[in-house]
Structure 1
Amino acid sequence: MATLTVWKFDTPEGAQSVESSLLELQKQELIQIVDAAVVSWAQGETKPRTKQLRNLTGVGALSGTFWGMLFGLIFFVPLLGAAVGAAAGALGGKLSDVGIDDDFIKAVKSEVTPGTSALFLLSDHAVVDRVKQALPTGHAELIRSNLDSDQEAKLREVFAE
Structure 2
Amino acid sequence: MATLTVWKFDSANGADDAVNTLQDLAKQQLITVHDAATVSWPSGAKKPKTRQLNNLVGVGALGGMFWGLLFGLIFFIPLLGAAIGAAAGAIGGALTDVGIDDDFIKKIRDQVTPGTSALFVLTSDAVLDKVHGAFEGQHPELISTNLSQEQEDALRAAFAD
1-structure distance, mates of 2:23, 2:82: 39
Give CA-to-partner distance per residue, 1:12-36, whole Å, 9 cap, x none.
0110012221111111111000011
Indicate if the aligned counterparts of 2:40 and 2:48 stay in contact, CA closer than 8 A: yes
Alignment of 1:114-125 (within 5 A): 114-125=114-125
1:97 counterpart residue number: 97
Range that drifts further, 117-126 or 69-78: 69-78
- Match of 1:74, SS state, is helix
Unaligned runs of 5+ residues in structure 1 are: none
2:137 counterpart residue number: 137
Indicate if the aligned counterparts of 1:99 and 1:147 stay in contact, CA closer than 8 A: no
Matched, 1:84 2:84: yes
Matched, 1:3 2:3: yes
2:106 counterpart residue number: 106
Indicate if the aligned counterparts of 2:72 and 2:78 stay in contact, CA closer than 8 A: no
1:21 counterpart residue number: 21
Unaligned runs of 5+ residues in structure 2 are: none
Compute the RMSD of aligned alpha carbons.
Answer: 2.0
| TM-score with structure 2 setting the length | 0.90
Give CA-to-partner distance per residue, 1:102-147, whole Å, 9 cap, x none.
2211111111000000000110111122112112425211110111
Count of aligned pairs between the two proteins: 161
1-structure distance, mates of 2:51, 2:79: 19
Range that drifts further, 150-159 or 117-126: 150-159
2-structure distance, mates of 1:33, 1:26: 7
Q: Kindly provide the amino acid, as one letter, of the partner of residue 141 in structure 1.
A: E
Indicate if the aligned counterparts of 1:21 and 1:134 stay in contact, CA closer than 8 A: yes
| TM-score with structure 1 setting the length | 0.90
Identity of aligned residues (%): 62
Alpha-carbon spacing, 1:81–1:51, altered in 2? closer, same or farther (3 Å) = closer
- Match of 1:18, SS state, is helix
- Match of 1:106, SS state, is helix
Indicate if the aligned counterparts of 1:129 and 1:158 stay in contact, CA closer than 8 A: yes
Shift of 1:58: 4.0
2-structure distance, mates of 1:82, 1:61: 25
Q: Which aligned runs of 4 or more in structure 1 are off by greater than 4 angstroms?
A: 77-83
